[in-house]
Structure formats: C-alpha cells, structure tokens
Chains A and B, each alone.
Chain A
Amino acid sequence: MSVDLSVSLGSLKLKNPVLTASGTFGYGTEYAELYDLSRLGGVIVKTITLKPRPGNPAPRIWEVGGHGMLNSIGLANVGVEAFIAEKLPALKNLGAAVIVNVAGSTIEEYWEVVEKLEPQPGFDAFEINISCPNVKDEGMAFGSNCAATEQIVRGLRDRTRRPLIPKLTPNVTAIGEIARACEAAGADALSLINTVVGMAVDVQTRRPRIATVTGGYSGPALKPIALAKLYEVRKNVSLPLIGIGGISSATDALEYIITGAAAIEVGTANYVQPKITLEIIDGLKHYCEKRKIARLADLIGTLDTSIG
C-alpha cells in the first residue's frame, strides 16, 4: 500500500512532515556527508541575524543527565550578508524544502533581515525566532509580548510573499494569546516550542554550568511540555502547526501529529543520531501502512479526548 506522507503548511507543500530544527542543523548542508538530505521534508537553518554574531562566552552547553541539554549559544551566526553570499547557494538543489530562520534584537532588525533575504532565490519560507531578547525592553523576549509579536509579524507580512512561520517560546504565561497575535498579524503557520529556560549548578565549585547562568533546555525532557503547549495553541488558532521538542522517534512524531501538528522538527536528536530523521519518516509510513491510512494528513489532530 502506498502512503501519501505529504502535508501542507499553508501554501508550503512538504513531501513529508519531517523537518530539522534551527540551530541543530547548521546552515543546512553539513550533514550531507552522512546521508541524502533530499529525503527530508525540509531543513531549517540556524537563526540568521542582520550582523554576524560571535555568540556567548564558553562554556555554552551542558548535558543534563539522560534528559536533554542546556545551551547558551547566543545565536552565533555569520550574519545575513555572508549567509546570502556563502551559504544560501549551496541549498539551491537540496531536493527538500528550505526554511530560513531569522531574528533581530530590535523589531526593525527583524524586518531588515527579511528585506535582505526576500529577493534571493533558493528558499521556501521564513521561520521567525521570536524568542530573542529585545534590547530596547530590558531583554524581555519579543515572543513573550503580544504587541511586540504582532508588530514584528505584521511588518514582515508587508515585506514578504513567502510563508511566515513564527516560532513560539514556551516561556510565557499564555501561549495561546501569542499564537492569536501571530494569526491576526498574517502568519501562515506556527512552530513550537523553542527551548525552555533552564539552569544547572556545579555543587563542587558553586558555579553555573554554563557561562550565561541560564540557558535553553532541549531534548527528550521537553516532549510532554511541548505537547501540552501544542494542545493549547491548537485550541486558540486554526493555523497549521509544527511541533518541536524532544522528538527522537516516529512514535514521538506521531504524538505531535495526532495532537494537531501538520509537521514536526527534530532538534537535539540530530546530534545523537544524525539519520534519525530518516528513521522517523520510515516509521510514519509503516504506522500508516499497518493501519491502512492512505494519507498521513488525515491523522493530523485526530486526538480523541472523549475519555478523560
């Protein structure tokens, strides 16, 4: 039985729902030495900013037992100009959708990065990392404020015809409201979640494990948190959703799809098992075959909450 794994995120069509999460897949081609990237639904590149960013002081990462990891990379990236000149051309014939993730430290910077990228060929959509600290607002993340989020997305809507996918932070009180602000401002889809703020301490030295004290927590421990956020967002908007957080198997991916995700992103698991995305794609197909589901898209949001 042939299974149709294709899904759509608004006008963006994916041949399968498996994407690689920003910051865990470099500039998109690094893993090409290990496997054929054209099998992926798509790749999402590291967050690109207007100016190059060297990143935060070391140590930048800490493994939290078997549960996940903390990072404080600080959006280290080559900047939009070098990205366009040196990285984007290599993505042209990838054979999978290419999504460019962008951020700014002011609202205007978000707009400017997208203005610079918009005329360029070779990519299919923008993911907007709104988890960045707003330098004008005492470092509060843009994505924790409805007005700032709406202003960013509205401004971007005026500047691009490509699909816009704001990426929501879980570090907020009411994620549904932020999601609604994105929908009102013209977003095409939403992805969630970015990392959860976390921390670890070395009790020998009484120092934090990462130089910035707190950082972003990712990996297996995120899955229940992210699923609950997805469930909440789904009740608030009708946009297509992309699930992210601790996905490292087809079963994990299915939990998200059944809860309401049209696609999923694999993050930390890429570091551990670079080919895990391929296993997930095969696992999704196998699941559908066994249950005689002809189109994976028919599974999206089929969560049965009748009991409990």
Chain B
Amino acid sequence: MIQECGALRRKEVIHPEIFDLWLECPEVAHQSHAGQYLHLLIKGATGVTLRRPLSIAGIEGGLIRLLVRIVGEGTSALAAVPVGTIMDVIGPLGIPFDYSKVSQALLVGGGIGGAPLLFLQDELIGKSIPTDYFLGAKTQDEYPLDPEEVERRSIFAATDDGTFGSAGFVSLQVNQWLQHHDHAGVRVYSCGPLLMMREVDRICRLYDLPHQASLENRMGCGIGVCQGCAVRVNDGKGDPRGGYRLVCKDGPVFDAMEIEWAVLGESYR
C-alpha cells in the first residue's frame, strides 16, 4: 500500500454514464494485481467527505485503468476532472484474485462489476491459463465496454433485453457452458450485482466448482482501521457464526463459500 499522486492521462466516454480513466501512478501500478482497488480522493467535490474505492481494471506501463460508472456526487465529480489533473490515490488495496492451480478460468461480470475482471483476464492470458469471460449488462446503454474491446477480448456479451450480445442473464450462459465442457481444473470468478453473483454461486455449488466473488461495500478508511465495511461471513463450512470480515482488507475478493448471501443483501441496502 502506498499513497501516490499522479496525473489523469486519458479519459474516454463509453456511454454518458460510464467512462474509462487512465492514471499515471507507476509505483502503485507496479505493485497491483487483479482484484485489488484504489482509494481515490476526489478533491473539491461538493457533497463528498470520504475517498472512493475503484477497482483496478488494468495496467499499461505506469498507467492504471479505471472503469467508472456515475452513480452519485463523487463519481460525477470524477467524470468532470480534466485530463492532466493530479489525483491522489492510496493503493493497491485488498486481496487479489487467486488463480494458482487453475487450468480453466470462467469470469462472470455484471455491469461495472466487469472492471476488475478485465485486469484478471489480462493476468490469466499472461499466465497462459485458458479463460472465458462472460460480461452482461441490463441493456446496451449500460454495457461497460465499447464493442471493439468486447471483440478484441473475445468476451461473451449478454444483455437482459438482447440489445447487445445474446439475450438473457450471463448466469444462464455460464450454466450452458458448464453443461458442455469438462469441469476439471475450472475456477469461477464473479463481480457484479448481488443477485447475479448469488446465482453464479448457486450454479458453482451445483457443479462443485470453486468460486471467488468480489464484493462491494461502503468504505471509510479502505485499509482496515474503521471497521465500517464489515460483512457477515460463515466459517467456510456453513456455520453462520463465522463473524464479520472487512471488504476493504479481508476482501474485496472472497471465497464464495464463506459469503452469507441472504445477510449480505441487508448490508447492501
């Protein structure tokens, strides 16, 4: 973990509400792994006190890619930051995805949750691990990538209403994939809306597949001192008295077996 100030080098609008940012933070970039995130200070934004957590969506030399969806004051202020502005980040934070002993990876992303999985796809390809990436969104206007990148990355795209890629939930596609492929050495990675990850988890349990899910929560410190981002977990064997884990430090990537999905819904209010 380091604190680094670096310039916003590039900004591209994917949709009016989704944009790509490239920050020049070579020291953080050098230490980063897929699944980790930055805690970003959005200076001068009205209505914002705390930093904002954003997944590292990729690394290119000393540049860090962020894929951001505008949902409130902080993210809209970020969208308005001019290229060249110096940004203050703390990172890389959190536990990365684990792909040791994996011979086939299935990546399942929903909406902006696709961001950390882009970086994961890059790392897996770098390790020559066969990877299939399913990325869904509600509709074309919310699809977090431009079609050219979807093509280049061979992503299986889906939208709920069929306006881009195939029609229906990504979880359906994953289920079909599993019905037609060998499961040996398969590991599943998900990030996206709670309902999507929960459905992916149901399917993984059906086929007895290891599954890592990346969770979100409101964050204070981002480094494990405020205890604000706690989520209920079980002990990995289903005992719900497992207590609390911190999304910022014990996660954001969790073994899905530990996650108490029903209780998690409450913390996502």
Chain A residues within CB distance 8 Å of chain B? 23-26, 30-31, 33-34, 46, 54-55, 57-69, 71, 73, 76, 202, 205, 207, 209, 211, 219-220, 268, 270-275
| A271 touching B51, Cβ below 8 Å | yes
Is B222's CB within 8 Å of the partner chain A? yes
| A68 touching B49, Cβ below 8 Å | yes
| B218 touching A61, Cβ below 8 Å | yes
A220 to B217, CA, bound (A): 23
Chain A residues with CB under 8 A of B268:
59
Chain B residues within CB distance 8 Å of chain A? 1-3, 41, 45-51, 73, 90, 217-232, 243-244, 266-269
Chain B residue at minimum C-beta to C-beta distance from A273: B41
- With A65-B49, A76-B227 known to touch, is A202 a contact of B269 (CB < 8 Å)? yes
Given contacts A30-B224, A64-B49, A68-B49, 20 further A-B contacts (CB under 8 A): A24-B226, A26-B224, A26-B225, A33-B1, A33-B2, A34-B2, A54-B244, A57-B232, A57-B266, A60-B227, A60-B229, A66-B48, A71-B220, A205-B269, A219-B49, A268-B220, A270-B225, A271-B221, A272-B41, A274-B3
- With A34-B3, A272-B41 known to touch, is A66 a contact of B46 (CB < 8 Å)? yes
Chain A residues with CB under 8 A of B46:
65-66
Chain B residues with CB under 8 A of A60:
227-230
Chain B residue at minimum C-beta to C-beta distance from A65: B47
| A61 touching B220, Cβ below 8 Å | yes
| A63 touching B49, Cβ below 8 Å | yes
| A73 touching B227, Cβ below 8 Å | yes
Chain A residues with CB under 8 A of B224:
26, 30
A74 to B221, CA, bound (A): 16
Chain A residues with CB under 8 A of B222:
271
Chain A nearest CB, measured from B199 CB (Å): 22
Chain B nearest CB, measured from A140 CB (Å): 24
| A274 touching B227, Cβ below 8 Å | no
| B266 touching A275, Cβ below 8 Å | no
Chain B residues with CB under 8 A of A54:
243-244
Chain A nearest CB, measured from B166 CB (Å): 32
| B223 touching A30, Cβ below 8 Å | yes
Chain B residue at minimum C-beta to C-beta distance from A72: B228
A252 to B243, CA, bound (A): 38
What are 28 A-B pairs at a CB distance below 8 A? A24-B221, A24-B225, A24-B226, A26-B224, A54-B243, A54-B244, A57-B267, A59-B218, A59-B266, A59-B268, A60-B227, A60-B229, A60-B230, A63-B49, A63-B50, A65-B48, A66-B46, A66-B48, A67-B49, A73-B227, A76-B230, A211-B267, A219-B49, A268-B220, A271-B226, A272-B49, A272-B50, A274-B90
Chain B nearest CB, measured from A56 CB (Å): 8
A205 to B244, CA, bound (A): 25
B-side binding surface: helix, strand, loop or mixed? loop
| B230 touching A69, Cβ below 8 Å | no
A61 to B231, CA, bound (A): 12
A270 to B33, CA, bound (A): 25
A58 to B230, CA, bound (A): 7
Top 9 closest pairs, chain A to chain B, by CB: A58-B267, A26-B225, A61-B228, A271-B221, A65-B47, A76-B227, A73-B227, A66-B47, A33-B1
Chain B residues with CB under 8 A of A270:
221, 225
Could you say which of A34, A57, A71 contacts B226, with CB atoms under 8 Å apart? A71
A25 to B228, CA, bound (A): 13
Chain A residues with CB under 8 A of B231:
58
Chain A nearest CB, measured from B49 CB (Å): 5
Chain A residue at minimum C-beta to C-beta distance from B46: A66
Chain B nearest CB, measured from A278 CB (Å): 12
Chain B residues with CB under 8 A of A73:
226-228
Which of A61, A76, A220, A275 has the most chain B CB atoms closer than 10 A to its own CB? A61
A207 to B46, CA, bound (A): 25
Chain A residues with CB under 8 A of B228:
60-61, 71, 73
A63 to B48, CA, bound (A): 8
| A275 touching B3, Cβ below 8 Å | yes
Chain A residues with CB under 8 A of B217:
58-59
Chain A residue at minimum C-beta to C-beta distance from B50: A63
